[in-house]
Structure 1
């Protein structure tokens, strides 16, 4: 018995065209499941991701607001915006507000820190916020609404009276 017969069948059973079609379908399925797409995650990574409670520490430098203590409050639910796209809602868990400091040297060489008079006169504050939400955790990091959040990622939060831009200092889950 020949490997190929006159009708193009292997061993008289399978057509070469059928084998080519099956191979094409398998290659497409492997590509869909294993190769990352535009989001950087493959379907297999998305399916293996778990939803967990995630905390993101956000740093805001030089916020110009006359009364930031009454503006941003613990427990507020705010929208998180990453790369100019809304990515869901987060809860503010912790707010630390401080005035920017200036360092001066004393005569004995020790350093003294005091409030920056320019920041005080222009109502500028530095903030450290802790945001909490449920997000997908993959082996490549934390994903809020199809956008990865890592240390250094630029984050905006939008409340009813403010829109504040900062960056991620830490991501915990």
Structure 2
């Protein structure tokens, strides 16, 4: 018995064109299923989830009354929505601390030294803040991943809440091992 007969059938039973079409169909189904499963996160078995603290600095936030901002949303123990590179984090993240930074200016002294003194402007609506966020991140070889975005020093974060929406910059990242 020949492997291929005169009609192009394998072992006299299976047409080669039908076999090729079936293999292509199985390959397409496999690609679709693997893409679907990886989007669900089921294919990411070896990832380690660790607690993360991210320090953010906000420079020159124009706000009339910072205390009202702190009382109505941006406060320790509260939650805020984070957007990293135009990608939402996927829920609210906890605010560990909010610290109002003093506005200072460098003043040269007669002996040539420089002192940092409080800014004498009293009608300035510009505020500087140091904010620490506390959440969970995936630990990868290339750094922590918060939501679906890598977190690096210098990255802009957009913080959004009930009565605020402003940008901040990452100045420190601390991963805590469980």
Same fold per TM (> 0.5)? yes
1:170 aligns with 2:154: no
Structure 1 residues 100 and 18: alpha-carbon distance in aligned structure 2, compared to 1, 3 A threshold: farther
Residue 56 (structure 2) pairs with residue 53 (structure 1): no
Q: Which residue number in structure 2 is paired with residue 92 of structure 1?
A: 95
Q: Distance in 2 between matches of 1:84 and 1:23?
A: 35
Equivalent of 2:105 in 98, 102, 105: 102
Report whether the alignment pairs 1:6 with 2:9. Answer: no
Within 2, Cα distance between the matches of 1:2 and 1:44? 47
Q: Which residue of 2 aligns with 1:123?
A: 125
TM-score (norm 2): 0.68
Q: Does 1:43 align with 2:11?
A: no
Q: Deviations over 1:108-167 (max 9, x none)?
A: 33221123344x5313221111111234455554132xx414223332223333223212
Shift of 1:103: 2.0
Do 1:99 and 1:124's aligned partners in 2 also have CA atoms closer than 8 Å? no
Structure 1 pair 86/142, CA: closer, same or farther in 2 (3 Å)?
closer
Tell whether 2:146 aligns with 1:148. no
Q: Residues of 1 paired with 2:34 and 2:174: CA distance?
A: 28
Query: Which 5+ residue runs of structure 1 have no aligned equivalent?
Result: none
TM-score (ref. length: structure 1): 0.70
2: CA distance, partners of 1:111 / 1:31:
64
1:66 Cα offset (Å): 4.0
Give per-residue Cα distances to partners, 1:71-116, cap 9 Å, x unaligned: 1321112222342757310111022221233223333332211233
Cα 1:105–1:11, aligned 2, differ >3 Å: closer, same or farther?
A: farther
CA deviation string 1:31-54 (max 9, x = no partner): 8648xx9xxxx9289331444433
Q: 1:124 to 1:13 in 2, by over 3 A?
A: same
**Contact kept in structure 2, 1:150 and 1:170, CA below 8 Å:** no
Contact 1:57 1:128 in 2 (8 A): yes
Matched, 1:76 2:71: no
Whether the 8 Å contact between 2:89 and 2:146 is mirrored in structure 1 is no
